[in-house]
Amino acid sequence: MGASDSKLAFKEDIFRLAGEEAIAIDSSWWLRFIQLPETAEDVQTLWSPNDLRDLTLNTPSERPSSHTQTAPKKNAETLIYRTVSRLHALQTKRVFDDPLTPIAPEVLNCVRILTRLLPYIYEADYLSDWEDQFFWQPRRPVSYPDPKSDSRRIYVDGLSGAAVPEEKKNSNLGPPLGEQLIDILTKYLFFPGICLPAKKDANGVPELKPIYTVWQSGIGAQRGAAMTKDNEKNAVEVLRLLLVLAGRSLYFAPGVVAEKDIKPLTYLATQADRAVVLNTICSLLNTALKYNQNPWSFPIDLGAATKDSKQPLVTCCLQFLLVLITYPVPGNGANEFRKALGRLHRAEDFQFIVEGLRQILMQPTTGMLRLTTTAPPIIPETLALFWELLQCNKRFRSYLIDTERARDFIVLVLFYAIDGKDDPAKQSVVRTCVFILQTLSVEEKFGPKLNALFTAQDTLPSVLQIPNFHGSYADFLIGHIHALLTSSNRGLESLHPALLAVINNIAPYVQGLQRATSTMLMHVFVSFSQPAFLLANESNHLLLFSLLDAMNAILEHQYDENRRFVDAVVKGRKRFEALRDFTVEGAEAEIDRMTRERKDIGESAAGRATSHESARDATSPRTTSLDMVPEDSAFAIGDEDDEDDEGDGESNLPSHDTSTRASMSNDALEDALPLQSRSMSEKARGKQPVGLANFSRSTSRNTSHTSLASLIRLQTRQSLQPFTPDYQWLHTWSPHLPLHTILQLLEEEEDGGRARPSKTPAAGNAVSSTLPAAPSQHAGMRSSGTAPALEVKVQTFRWTSAALGWYLSLLWGRVYAADTARIWAGTNVRLFNVVAQQSRISLSSPKGAVDAVGDTIARRIGGLSLRSPLTSREV
């Protein structure tokens, strides 16, 4: 179709589809749509959105409402029947006079037509009943006007074109058309001359029979199928149509998508032949994991798809694999693809998976020649695949931890989390990384592995290095969790429960926490225990509960091995005692005072609102803002005569934000220092133990340290529906704060533990002698050991409908963003708001484009809460 005349003629054929009422199904004219186009671009450009929507409307007037069910034009039905019929015929019989004629051009044109048309059928709510009947009910005869009589109708089999007697017009002719189409397409994935190299029989004629074999060597195959570049391009188009069939999910709202029956996926996940399931999952997995776009460690331009012919195939394989294994079958049915992934058990298969994942994830962090720092565009999908493997395959989790490769992946996952924490377009990647850490931390053997010394920091990218760091993997992990908790990006606030869950899960096993790490944990406690923070949000106290549980776990299970942490707890005695005295009666007085101040400040702000900017910053009278709660109030944590080394009521936590460095005052700089370093000269700080001295010096160089409480101020000030605390709400949780273990420790320290010498620590682990008695003197506290005798509380990941809605939105957002063919562009996608995010989405350059959409959806569903701990979806 290179000539303009042929394209004009083809366009006239498209107009005829919408102009004539019902063209006979046996007309040879239909073959023009299958035989004339030469490229996918021909079909994409010549079939405009208006042409396709004309086909979906049976009435030429206005579009029906979603409540008015109708059917598309008869020609749309016939076009679908003819393309599916041709796909089946090309697969089962010789349709050309010359048997050596390749079938690939017509197969691809049929695939392209359906790929172009189906999204416009899915977007039309008024076609939902017709869609279910046409594709997913047993196939019945199709009626057409009889050309010989105006009053009669003729009935034919839509696939074969054979006439059907009128008395059998209501009979079933075969399985649903949608099921037959899926069977045809899955066979084409393994069909010689299409996705596999052509194979000829003894007479030199191409064979017409699928060969179920794995595309690439790896899991399930020692040798690959030797696919050519044409085979890879064909596989991309077939996989793309399968994604379009499964893309019915794009046209549901995120709140209900997890509960909808996506019939193409249900059929694939439950009814596909075993040979199809095993060969498909191995082919997709091996193709993705063997991908190395940078074999010589030269990360030139990792984002340009045109420079790497394999990238489109790898992207489609990863996306279709994730769509298959994450689909929740209605009625708790078994997903055969997920089961197959969960049944992998050979060590060599796990080694192949680990090396493949590591090769992809490490590409932006290594290289002999660094010409770009752009990460591979398939990183989000690769991280999602890693998370799915951890969830559905217990043996893989055990292998990863037993071989100590989990520590390598901790570093890789933290790289993507820290690298993206301040980028709104990467929030979904950060979320995936945090949930990976939470899933790993649930394993009992994971925590003890973190006690190994971390010595490779000098080889890490600068974004991941902690200045003057020394300690274990546990210190490294908690240090970066602290950075995520104190990030200035408000989009990460919904991740705080999951981040604290990671600390909670590893707390019973960590040993030898460094002083800087202990200080970080105390800083978080100080911010979470502020009355202003606790009263600012209905669920903020859950964060404090989680953190206290983690601190208790350290003291109860590894008391003797974490003397620096014990020292930090003892020095924060007054803060714990003030939290204990956080009474309901006093809180009522505090709430009344806050209400009066909100009213006064609200009236004052209204009087000053002379511009749009001041109006936007004014605080609502109902908003609970932490700015309105002075730290010297009756319920500030700590007394005015606190010791200097315990700091003020609000501890500022270190962060990576440097945007306001020049505007910080001397007081703010003093607040930014660790609690133990306040009121000390620079010389005195230099005499502290190495870890704390270095921490103090590095902190003093960066004066823009955002406290967690200040982030909550911003969150509360901008809240659309502010929370108003009351007595009943406070009484439900304040008497149940898990302070017993810590208060017992402090009581024994005050009653005589101060005079008892502490156990001699290992070299380089010097602690103060003003510590409580030996661990044996404290009931409920254990010293060392990697298998705590006390019960260990684990916060696991449980899939809820809202969480799954976010996750499916993320996956399909990546599919949408990677769509260089613009398949779904212009259709009414409901899974995420494309129009509102248009400034962030570039369809011509879709790298990471829809990550921000996933962030919007996560905020829309309210994030994930500690109220419903998550558990893995395991096979």
Q: How far apart are CA 177 and CA 138, in angstroms?
A: 7
Asked if residue 398 lies in contact with residue 449, where contact means CB atoms within 8 angstroms, the answer is no
The three-class DSSP label of residue 453 is strand
Over the stretch 363-385, which tens digit does the pLDDT of each residue have? 876 543 343 446 788 999 999 99
The three-class DSSP label of residue 144 is strand
**pLDDT at residue 708 greater than cutoff 80:** no
**pLDDT at residue 293 greater than cutoff 80:** no
**pLDDT at residue 715 greater than cutoff 50:** no
The three-class DSSP label of residue 776 is helix
- Report residue 128 as tokens: 């939902």
| Mean pLDDT, rounded, for 818-827 | 90
Please give the pLDDT value at position 453: 96
Residue type for position 300: I
* Percent of the chain whose predicted confidence (pLDDT) is above 90: 51
For helices 473-485 and 427-441, the axis angle rounded to 10 degrees is 140
Which DSSP state fits 598?
H
Residue type for position 128: S
| Mean pLDDT, rounded, for 788-793 | 69
Q: How far apart are CA 332 and CA 330, in angstroms?
A: 6
Transcribe 251-266 into DSSP letters. GS-TTTGGGS--HHHH
Q: Which residues contact 478 (CB under 8 A, 6 or more apart)?
A: 503, 510, 513, 517, 520, 521
Cβ atoms within 10 Å, residue 98: 6
Q: Where is average pLDDT lowest: 89-103, 355-369, 557-571, 680-694?
A: 680-694
Over the stretch 400-413, which tens digit does the pLDDT of each residue have? 999 999 999 999 99
* Percent of the chain whose predicted confidence (pLDDT) is above 70: 72
| Mean pLDDT, rounded, for 817-843 | 72
Q: How confident is the model at residue 301 (pLDDT cuts 50, 70, 90)?
A: very low
| Mean pLDDT, rounded, for 814-832 | 92
Q: How confident is the model at residue 603 (pLDDT cuts 50, 70, 90)?
A: low
Residue with tokens 């809605």: 805
Q: How far apart are CA 768 and CA 745, in angstroms?
A: 16
Closest by alpha carbon to 176, among 80, 110, 93? 80
Q: How far apart are CA 342 and CA 339, in angstroms?
A: 5
Higher-scoring residue by pLDDT: 1, 460: 460
| Mean pLDDT, rounded, for 178-186 | 97
| Mean pLDDT, rounded, for 826-846 | 58
Q: What is the 3-state secondary structure (H, E, C) of 352-408?
A: HHHHHHHHHHCHHHCCCCCCCCCCCCCHHHHHHHHHHHHHHCHHHHHHHHHCCCHHH
Q: How confident is the model at residue 16 (pLDDT cuts 50, 70, 90)?
A: very high
Please give the pLDDT value at position 683: 35
| Residues linked to residue 155 through DSSP beta bridges, in sequence order | 143, 164
| Mean pLDDT, rounded, for 198-222 | 92
The helix (H) or strand (E) run that includes residue 311 is: helix 311-326
Q: Which residues contact 868 (CB under 8 A, 6 or more apart)?
A: 798, 800
3-state helix, strand and coil shares in percent for the chain, rounded to the nearest 5: 55, 5, 40
Q: How far apart are CA 444 and CA 142, in angstroms?
A: 61
Please give the pLDDT value at position 646: 36
β-strand 471-472 against 142-145: which pairing, if any?
Answer: unpaired
Closest by alpha carbon to 510, among 481, 468, 544, 539? 481
Higher-scoring residue by pLDDT: 767, 146: 146
Over the stretch 216-236, which tens digit does the pLDDT of each residue have? 999 999 999 999 999 999 999
Please give the pLDDT value at position 350: 97
**pLDDT at residue 684 greater than cutoff 80:** no
Q: How far apart are CA 159 and CA 866, in angstroms?
A: 54
Asked if residue 812 lies in contact with residue 327, where contact means CB atoms within 8 angstroms, the answer is no
Q: How far apart are CA 394 and CA 390, in angstroms?
A: 7
Over the stretch 53-65, which tens digit does the pLDDT of each residue have? 999 887 655 567 6
Residue with tokens 């009522």: 588
**pLDDT at residue 852 greater than cutoff 70:** no
Q: Which residues contact 19 (CB under 8 A, 6 or more apart)?
A: none
| Mean pLDDT, rounded, for 83-100 | 93
| Residues linked to residue 218 through DSSP beta bridges, in sequence order | 221
Q: How confident is the model at residue 720 (pLDDT cuts 50, 70, 90)?
A: very low
Q: How confident is the model at residue 587 (pLDDT cuts 50, 70, 90)?
A: low
Residue type for position 442: V
Please give the pLDDT value at position 532: 76
Q: Which residues contact 587 (CB under 8 A, 6 or more apart)?
A: 531, 535, 635, 725, 727, 730, 734
- Report residue 720 as tokens: 């659309």
Q: How confident is the model at residue 662 (pLDDT cuts 50, 70, 90)?
A: very low
Q: How far apart are CA 814 and CA 378, in angstroms?
A: 9
**pLDDT at residue 297 greater than cutoff 70:** no
| Mean pLDDT, rounded, for 693-710 | 32
Please give the pLDDT value at position 179: 97
Residue type for position 839: S
- Report residue 635 as tokens: 């319920």
Q: How far apart are CA 219 and CA 872, in angstroms?
A: 24
- Report residue 639 as tokens: 């007394």
**pLDDT at residue 611 greater than cutoff 90:** no
Q: How far apart are CA 88 and CA 160, in angstroms?
A: 10
Q: How confident is the model at residue 755 (pLDDT cuts 50, 70, 90)?
A: very low
Burial class (CB in 10 A: 0-12, 13-18, 19+), 682: exposed
Q: For residue 776, what are the CA distances in angstroms to 313, 412, 573?
A: 61, 40, 21
Over the stretch 443-485, which tens digit does the pLDDT of each residue have? 999 999 999 999 988 889 999 999 889 999 999 999 999 999 9
- Report residue 444 as tokens: 């009992």
| Mean pLDDT, rounded, for 714-743 | 74
Backbone angle region of 653, left / alpha / beta, with phi > 0 → left and psi within -120 to 50 → alpha: beta
| Mean pLDDT, rounded, for 126-147 | 92
Cβ atoms within 10 Å, residue 428: 30
- For residue 363, the number of C-alpha atoms closer than 13 Å in the C-beta half-sphere is 26
**pLDDT at residue 675 greater than cutoff 50:** no
Please give the pLDDT value at position 311: 92
pTM over 0.85, yes/no: no
| Mean pLDDT, rounded, for 818-835 | 87
Residues in the chain: 875
The three-class DSSP label of residue 170 is coil
Q: How far apart are CA 116 and CA 119, in angstroms?
A: 7
**pLDDT at residue 544 greater than cutoff 70:** yes
Q: For residue 569, what are the CA distances in angstroms to 551, 565, 577, 629, 750?
A: 9, 6, 11, 26, 13
Q: Where is average pLDDT lowest: 282-296, 366-380, 766-780?
A: 766-780
From the centroid of its chain, how far is CA 351?
A: 24
Please give the pLDDT value at position 352: 97
Q: How far apart are CA 680 and CA 703, in angstroms?
A: 17
Asked if residue 856 lies in contact with residue 833, where contact means CB atoms within 8 angstroms, the answer is yes
The three-class DSSP label of residue 620 is coil
Mean of the per-residue pLDDT values of the chain: 78
Asked if residue 110 lies in contact with residue 83, where contact means CB atoms within 8 angstroms, the answer is yes
Q: How confident is the model at residue 800 (pLDDT cuts 50, 70, 90)?
A: confident
| Mean pLDDT, rounded, for 655-681 | 32
Transcribe 31-80 into DSSP letters. HHHHHS--SHHHHHHHS-HHHHHHHH-SSSSSPPPTTS-----HHHHHHH
Over the stretch 19-54, which tens digit does the pLDDT of each residue have? 888 898 988 999 999 999 999 999 999 999 999 999
Q: For residue 221, what are the CA distances in angstroms to 5, 214, 286, 325, 689?
A: 49, 6, 9, 21, 56
The three-class DSSP label of residue 143 is strand
Transcribe 530-597 into DSSP letters. -HHHHHHSTTHHHHHHHHHHHHHHHHHHSSTT-HHHHHHHHHTHHHHHHHHT--HHHHHHHHHHHHHH
Closest by alpha carbon to 643, among 737, 475, 770, 773? 770
Alpha helices in 734-820 (DSSP H): 740-751, 801-817
Asked if residue 696 lies in contact with residue 674, where contact means CB atoms within 8 angstroms, the answer is yes
Q: How confident is the model at residue 618 (pLDDT cuts 50, 70, 90)?
A: very low
- Report residue 573 as tokens: 């005695």
Please give the pLDDT value at position 601: 77
**pLDDT at residue 870 greater than cutoff 50:** no
Please give the pLDDT value at position 330: 93
Asked if residue 250 lies in contact with residue 829, where contact means CB atoms within 8 angstroms, the answer is yes
Please give the pLDDT value at position 68: 75
Q: How far apart are CA 871 and CA 725, in angstroms?
A: 31
**pLDDT at residue 665 greater than cutoff 50:** no
Q: Which residues contact 627 (CB under 8 A, 6 or more apart)?
A: 619, 713, 717
**pLDDT at residue 700 greater than cutoff 80:** no
- Report residue 239 as tokens: 């996989």
Please give the pLDDT value at position 364: 76
